[in-house]
Structure 1
Amino acid sequence: MDIYGFIDRIKGLCHVYGLSNQASEEEIVRNLFLYKLLNDRFSPEKQRSAGGIYMEEKDLIDNAKHYPNWLDEVFQRINTYPENKALCKEGLFTPIIDYVDASDMAAFFKNIKMIFLEAGPIPMEGGDFFGQVFEYLIQDYNVASGRYAEYYTPMEISRIISRILTDDGQDIRDNLRIYDPSAGTGTLLLSLQRRLKQPMLHAQDISHKSMALLQLNLILNQANGFTERANTLSNPAFSGPYDYIVSNPPFKTDFSFIRDDLDKSGRFPWGVPVVPEKKKESMSIYLCFIQHVIQTLSPNGKAAIVVPLNFLSTMGNIEAAIRRYITENRMLQGILVMPKNTFANTGTKVAIMFLDRSGCDTVTFMDVSEKGHLEKRGNVKRTVLGEDVADDIVKRFLMKTDCAVPIEKVSETDCSFLPGRYMDLFADRASIDEKEWKEKRKRYAVSLTSLMEQEMYWDTKLKNILNSFPKNNEEVR
């Protein structure tokens, strides 16, 4: 049984006991999924030395009536384990015994026990394992698709970002600090971590759901760092400066209830978006995340931020002010426009903005919106960039082969970050000699004459048809 089959079995069990489409179902599925992965991750020897958080199969059967309480006790012991508590303040698990009616308790947990026994060890295959599982988990529960922190950064995009940030190499400096203020499942951070020398990792996210997967992801990857579940904008848990920052922030969501507090905090020098009168959920909150990233970046730090495409050129006061600051401080390393539907839960066209506070003389503009292929994973379709395509993107971006302009040129265009303002729209045109040009012009002239003759023919025919109808004052016989 693979992990998707395991999740489906737990969902099916919740349906049988009337727990479907409720918060309780999501908590039960999430907790059992996390425990299953932890249980399979460690060897039998380590399991037996786990001090009561592991149970042999025979013990599981013999102690069936105590299983509900035992499972919640296991969750609590894992939460309070010193190494885990340092990384996960709130704990990986929440009690699930209270979600089940007392009359159903014995049968419900007996079925859970059997699902665990039937599943067997579940392999964690592929570099994007947690990202794909997260996407599978949220497709049923994330009814407000695309809201704050309820989507993740695909692994191939994370790899492109980390490779560009590190110049497609390894940064072996000591004591590096990396940060993601909207960490999701941690795909961006962990992809970057693999290219650094034992960095100190800081991650914050507001979502219970993504934070649980993030923490498990960090534990299984033996990451060194800290996480915090809280609102990054109103309650930032970590302070800079950071050597690397990555962020795929929410683009639009309702922050109206704390908007004025954010404005008074003094942490957003270029302003806090106003609350729309009709659709509060369309508040452009990502603009606050960009400002937060800029202000927590070290003097020689680098950052990559996923932004909606309209940020690159819109003349709104906040957007323009942010772009002007980035340009005047020579921080813009480049812009990479991504294909549509790269992120499964939002159809918004996006770009990746690369910043380098140490200073950039030239800016790379690159548009790969036509790259990739559409692929269905579960019930979700998104554009996937293959390994060859990703390699080509990284190589071209770092070598500046597509379009590289002096930073002064960006200032001359009112600090527009849209690649189309700088890229030659006819860069791929082929040169032809005079003879070939005359032949093509002759063919086009013949085609144009033919089209004009056809237009005259159909124009005359249509007029004749219209004239054949009775006039308004004539009686139709």
Structure 2
Amino acid sequence: MVELEFQQKTKALIDSLKSICANYGLGNDGNEFKIITQTFLYKFLNDKFAFEAKKLDETIAKAPKWEEAITSMSEDDIDMLQLQMGGDTARLKPQHFISYLFGKQNAPDFAKLFDDTLMDIAITNNDVFAVKTDGGAKVVLFDRISQYIADDSKRDAFCRAIINKLVEFSFERIFTQKFDFYATIFEYLIKDYNSNSGSKYAEYFTPHAVARIMAEILVPKAERGTVKNVACYDPSAGSGTLLMNVAHAIGENRCSIYTQDISQKSSSLLRLNLILNNLVHSIPNVIQGNTVLHPYHKDGKNLKRFDYIVSNPPFKLNFSDFRDDLYTKENKERFFAGIPKVPPKDKDKMAIYQLFLQHIIASLKANGKAAVVVPTGFITAQSGIDKDIRKYLVTNKMLAGVVSMPSNIFATTGTNVSILFIDASNKGDVVLVDASNLGDKVKDGKNQKTVLSAAEEQQIIDVFNAKQAMEDFSVVVSYEEIAAKNYSLSAGQYFDVKIEYVDITPEQFAQKMQGFTHNLDGLFSQSRELEAEIKKQLAGLKYAK
């Protein structure tokens, strides 16, 4: 009941913040998402600080107003309190509290005070909460929010409207909630920002069905509790949906997250997702940059290798402007199957996922596991880079299997997708699942998508993890069988061809044959009539100047 109540209150807060933006001319503006996500984050950090302070100090917990109890403490006592809180709680000063700003809202230049407060919080927490670029620069927690209001005479009122919404309730009672609660909140928070200037960027947001299937197969329930001190990586992380699911399966305190993504927007969303999901310790590993051209995570000069890798890489993206830069000595081993050619007409059709897939294989530990979303065409291509990658995986015996998903599992693309599971330690059989017939078609705005039920998701997971063959659904094959099928990873090519036999009497057989003969006689007769009509029409054609 508490969970449902606070989900509703949290969503109401998000809606209220969006309404404020709309009232000040920022509805659907490119900067609206920055204001909403950063304001939400400020509220979350403020209430998390209060929650931790009350756990540590009984006087603060019993005080009618916790902020006043902390303000009355000496600087040394406040510093000691914050040291006890640990690294996942932001360091805040009394003048950073929402209640302090609420009390100052009628002061002149309130917008400047509001912005200065957020910037000071960002600077104070820069070492822990800043995202880095591949060039080493730090992207801090907050911007100056009021700058997005073009009319500076309205900035004070805008910031007052925000601060008045932030004091209406506290998150404190929900900090004991787990991943599923925050996943729902995070998805609601960014649902209107899963676009960029009107064009969808589906690579940043993966459906939860896909994310859950990947996590449950990579980290089966039977292995939970035994996995610890592992490194999880996504080279095209987006907002982090895949990594959050894997971290939840392993245990947030048992793993470290490493990411890279070229988008500054998605890196900021990923940071927020890590904060919400108790993975603050991994924020220093969040890198905004070009993974294909400048992979950041390394051990010395070599790529860092990871225990778990998940990725939903872009399938088609123009990288022709830096393609020639990929031909280096260091990349020869990384891109072992080759670099995609530039299409003669449409450069946006470049198969960039082939580069990400090779990068993932090169970044995997000797006993590591990976799950990658690929276009279904990858699993059956008869030649080229796709086939060379599959051949490499089979020859080196590092496949776990493939799940071919239903069409439109991503509402924003009609491309059929499959999930490729790589397991460098699997020297035995491989599981191929054809889940293309599962799910129900539903409308998602102007698009249609396929939604799997919880039971269907579980069926895929259970069959794969048990290496179970199921008629017209899954097969278990050897590496030798895959090689004999030209390295095809499509389950359908391994299904048995079924011929149904029906017992009939000689009289029934004669009757069926008579029926076939009668039908053929009719078709042949129609054919002769059609031939005669065509000849007649041709004979009637005359030349005219």
TM bucket by the smaller chain?
Answer: 0.7 to 0.9
Q: Structure 2 length as normaliser, TM-score?
A: 0.74
Amino acid paired to 1:329: N
**In structure 1, the residue corresponding to 2:337 is in which secondary structure?**
coil
Distance in 1 (alpha carbons) for counterparts of 2:194 and 2:365: 37
Question: 2:235: which partner in 1?
Answer: 181
Question: 1:413: which partner in 2?
Answer: 485
> Deviations along 1:62-93, whole A, 9 cap, x unmatched?
44644422332333244334487256342332
Question: 2:353: which partner in 1?
Answer: 286
Question: 2:364: which partner in 1?
Answer: 297
Asked if residue 212 in structure 1 is aligned to residue 268 in structure 2, the reply is yes
Amino acid paired to 1:96: I
Distance in 2 (alpha carbons) for counterparts of 1:272 and 1:407: 26
Which segment is superposed worse, 269-278 or 394-403? 269-278
Aligned match for 2:293, one of 226, 234, 241: 234
Distance in 2 (alpha carbons) for counterparts of 1:441 and 1:116: 84
**In structure 1, the residue corresponding to 2:144 is in which secondary structure?**
coil
> Deviations along 1:224-257, whole A, 9 cap, x unmatched?
4221111112222213221111111111112222
Query: 1:456/1:189 Cα in 2 relative to 1: closer, same or farther (>3 Å)?
Result: same
1:454 CA displacement: 9.3
Asked if residue 132 in structure 1 is aligned to residue 187 in structure 2, the reply is yes
Query: 1:457/1:135 Cα in 2 relative to 1: closer, same or farther (>3 Å)?
Result: farther
Aligned match for 1:159, one of 201, 204, 212: 212
Asked if residue 31 in structure 1 is aligned to residue 38 in structure 2, the reply is yes
Amino acid paired to 1:129: T
Amino acid paired to 1:159: R
Query: 1:362/1:20 Cα in 2 relative to 1: closer, same or farther (>3 Å)?
Result: same
Question: 1:257: which partner in 2?
Answer: 321
Asked if residue 367 in structure 1 is aligned to residue 434 in structure 2, the reply is yes
Q: Structure 1 length as normaliser, TM-score?
A: 0.83
Question: 1:404: which partner in 2?
Answer: 476
Amino acid paired to 1:185: S
Question: 2:378: which partner in 1?
Answer: 311
- What pairs with 1:318-329 in structure 2 (closer than 5 Å)? 318-329=385-396
Distance in 1 (alpha carbons) for counterparts of 2:398 and 2:346: 34
Which segment is superposed worse, 283-292 or 179-188? 179-188
Distance in 1 (alpha carbons) for counterparts of 2:245 and 2:446: 26
C-alpha RMSD over aligned residues? 3.8
> Deviations along 1:381-404, whole A, 9 cap, x unmatched?
532222211111111112222201
Aligned match for 2:410, one of 343, 365, 382: 343
User: What 5-or-longer segments of structure 1 have no aligned partner?
Assistant: none
Amino acid paired to 2:503: E
**In structure 1, the residue corresponding to 2:266 is in which secondary structure?**
helix
Query: 1:119/1:440 Cα in 2 relative to 1: closer, same or farther (>3 Å)?
Result: farther
Contact 2:205/2:238, CA 8 A, preserved across alignment:
yes
Distance in 1 (alpha carbons) for counterparts of 2:11 and 2:515: 61
Contact 1:337/1:369, CA 8 A, preserved across alignment:
yes
Query: 1:278/1:26 Cα in 2 relative to 1: closer, same or farther (>3 Å)?
Result: farther
Asked if residue 199 in structure 1 is aligned to residue 264 in structure 2, the reply is no
Contact 2:129/2:141, CA 8 A, preserved across alignment:
no
Contact 2:46/2:98, CA 8 A, preserved across alignment:
no
Distance in 1 (alpha carbons) for counterparts of 2:187 and 2:141: 19
1:309 CA displacement: 0.9
Query: 1:456/1:41 Cα in 2 relative to 1: closer, same or farther (>3 Å)?
Result: farther
Which segment is superposed worse, 215-224 or 360-369? 215-224
1:434 CA displacement: 1.5
> Deviations along 1:198-224, whole A, 9 cap, x unmatched?
112212222222222211221222224
Question: 1:243: which partner in 2?
Answer: 307
- What pairs with 1:95-134 in structure 2 (closer than 5 Å)? 95-101=144-150, 102-116=152-166, 126=181, 128-129=183-184, 132-133=187-188
Q: Among the aligned pairs, what percent are the same residue? A: 32
Contact 1:228/1:237, CA 8 A, preserved across alignment:
yes
User: What 5-or-longer segments of structure 2 have no aligned partner?
Assistant: 1-7, 55-65, 71-91, 133-138, 299-303
Query: 1:329/1:140 Cα in 2 relative to 1: closer, same or farther (>3 Å)?
Result: closer
Aligned match for 2:98, one of 47, 55, 67: 55
Contact 2:102/2:164, CA 8 A, preserved across alignment:
no
**In structure 2, the residue corresponding to 1:128 is in which secondary structure?**
helix
Distance in 1 (alpha carbons) for counterparts of 2:506 and 2:460: 34
**In structure 2, the residue corresponding to 1:73 is in which secondary structure?**
helix
> Deviations along 1:323-348, whole A, 9 cap, x unmatched?
11111001111010011222233221
Distance in 1 (alpha carbons) for counterparts of 2:269 and 2:314: 18
